Structure 1
Amino acid sequence: MTLPRRSRLTSASQFSQVFRRPVVSADGCFKVLARVNESSCSRLGLAVSRKVDPRAVQRNRLKRIIRESFRRHYTTGPDPQPADFVVLPRRAAVTISNQILREHLERHWARIDRRLG
């Protein structure tokens, strides 16, 4: 299942909005930036560079895990505080199992929800 277009950051200006004065949650696996938006739903942007891992297979695995975690947390009901998110994986994320990555992301979503709300 794909993430609907309305739930994605699609332009450079949308990414730039998030990079200006974001709420940040970071750990050894991810850096998550967030900013409240004026739309009716939360949106996700991904920035996974080759520095994280030169192999596309690993970068794509990280993107799938991030999208699925975001979909489960933010698109399965009413969104009381819509926000834009940019997730930046770190090199350490490549070596960690999918389940642990999901747990890290859940902690980030909860932390950001508290800080935004």
Structure 2
Amino acid sequence: MLKVVNLYLHNLQLKQSLITSVKKLTFSRELRLLAPTQFKAVFEQPFRASTPELTILARHNHLDIPRLGLTVAKKHLKRAHDRNRIKRIVRESFRLKQHELPSADFVFVAKGGIGKLDNATLFAMLEKLWVRHIRLAKKPQA
């Protein structure tokens, strides 16, 4: 009987530690750039990581969290559902990578040709750019 109780308590402790150790992967309001001044600050002196279809700009934000802003112009994607698809994929990529990213403000900028990318290709490009920003953040600043 004592072994059963000890085993139960051990399993209960494992479950509780797993629950508390799981990181939240939400994309709450605190993780978004909302005001034009926040976007301007990133555009002034950014670190850039880009491909021909997209650019991710970043600037250290003195917070403990990364934040994301999205810009997808009608010039590059005429239809709203195309713009929404791109933004949805970028948000999902950021949401999954947020705990690895440095504390910086990121602005995603869509360029011409982004509408021709399928979801998997776009997601893979974003992964590479996030890794590039992680490396840039670890580099010592001069």
Shift of residue 2, structure 1, vs aligned partner: 6.5
Is the contact between residue 101 and residue 134 of structure 2 (CA under 8 Å) also seen in structure 1? no
Is the contact between residue 25 and residue 108 of structure 1 (CA under 8 Å) also seen in structure 2? yes
Deviation string for 1:6-27 (max 9, x for gaps)? 0000101111110111000111
Q: TM-score, normalised by structure 1?
A: 0.91
1:15 aligns with 2:39: yes
Higher-RCO chain (CA-CA 8 Å, sequence separation at least 6): 1
Residue in structure 2 matched with residue 115 of structure 1 by the alignment? 136
Is the contact between residue 26 and residue 95 of structure 2 (CA under 8 Å) also seen in structure 1? no
Map 1:45-84 → 2, pairs under 5 A = 45-74=69-98, 77=99, 81-84=102-105
Stretches (4+) displaced over 4 A: none
Is the contact between residue 42 and residue 107 of structure 2 (CA under 8 Å) also seen in structure 1? yes
> Percent identity among equivalent residues?
38
**Which has more radius of gyration?**
2
Find 1:96's aligned residue among 117, 123, 129: 117
Whole-Å separation in 2 of the counterparts to 1:80 and 1:93 = 23
Deviation string for 1:40-94 (max 9, x for gaps)? 21000001110111100100000000000000001xx4x5730100001122111
* Number of corresponding residues: 114
Q: In angstroms, what is the RMSD of aligned CA positions?
A: 1.6
State the one-letter code of the partner of 1:69.
S
State the one-letter code of the partner of 2:88.
R
Gaps of 5+ in 1: none
Q: Which structure has greater helix proportion?
A: 2
Q: TM-score, normalised by structure 2?
A: 0.76
Gaps of 5+ in 2: 1-24
